[in-house]
A and B are shown apart, each in its own frame.
Chain A
């Protein structure tokens, strides 16, 4: 339900303000270093990077094997929902600090296979890798973001299940 998306948001602005106060007793040089982002900001940024990569992998497969569109479109649509919900966790103040650069490692580096079955396996690996990558951030996330990560990770596990059995259920 949408109330969860708004219940608790990670405020990039709040993260930026705190270190400046703490720096007051340490001399002017401390003010020159950029403030560190709050953990939630870093986690959300990493999760956004994971979803963005996954969406790019779907795009690459759809360009290579267009015949898979019927199977892949509903899953891809859910990834766009994941991305939107994650982005809603970040409020970036205009002209504020740039967001931390994600350190996320690539989900897949191999080229997209040309056959349907191999392409489904390729995306299955990507889904499993993304599901695991999100869970790796679970401990560092603020509570409501942790719930969102666990939910998205589970959704991606179910996608991998669908990609295992390409014959459509219904």
Chain B
């Protein structure tokens, strides 16, 4: 893979993660109320904006931006506020991983762009999770519903969750 292909692949990865976040926040927001619903809507708008930015970046490079799927397979069933919060956390964890893929590219501007994306996703994930990770985007915890009653964050899990969606097309 040459460097231009690497750039497009990394941008497509971030766009795919933003597409699934836009879908996922739509699901999560429906199960949240009050301040958490406000946060979900704010993040949802943020992901729409990021999706548009990435789409423009890909178009400027002559690449066909990856299309959003009509629906995505969720990592677990979302029927409660707790599951909605867990879903939002998973979405942000995966965004951090996707943006981290930009930070190793040759172009310093794309590295900085990627680093901002990792930071934004990590901050949102920490807010949903109520705790921090040592290596956001790098050591991505497995997607799972928190067991009821145990609010402890626990150690960083090294397991990598499977992607929320396969790329359409």
Please determine whether chains A and B interact with each other in the same assembly.
yes
Residues of A within 8 A of B (CB): 1-2, 4, 74-75, 78, 81-82, 85, 131, 135, 138-139, 143-144, 146-155, 157-159, 161-162, 169-170
Interface size of B by CB at 8 A reads 36
Q: Find chain A residues with CB under 8 A from B108 CB.
A: 138-139
In chain B, positions 119-143 with a C-beta closer than 8 Å to chain A are 119, 121-123, 125-127, 130-139
Q: Find chain A residues with CB under 8 A from B131 CB.
A: 74, 162, 169
A118 vs B122: C-alpha distance when bound (angstroms)? 25
Mark each residue of chain B from 142 to 169: 1 if its CB lies under 8 Å from any CB of chain A, else 0: 0000000001110010111000000000
* Chain B binding surface SS class: loop
Q: Find chain A residues with CB under 8 A from B16 CB.
A: none
Q: Is B112 an interface residue (CB 8 A)?
A: yes
- CB pair A4 B138 closer than 8 Å: yes
- CB pair B137 A1 closer than 8 Å: no
- CB pair A158 B123 closer than 8 Å: yes
A20 to chain B, nearest CB (A): 28
Number of A-B contacts (CB under 8 A): 103
Q: Which of B100, B119, B135 has the most CB of A within 10 A?
A: B135
Q: Which of B126, B136, B153 meets A151, CB within 8 Å?
A: B136
B102 to chain A, nearest CB (A): 9
Q: Which of B119, B132, B160 meets A1, CB within 8 Å?
A: B160
Q: Find chain B residues with CB under 8 A from A81 CB.
A: 134-135, 156
- CB pair B123 A147 closer than 8 Å: no
Q: Is B96 an interface residue (CB 8 A)?
A: yes
B32 to chain A, nearest CB (A): 16
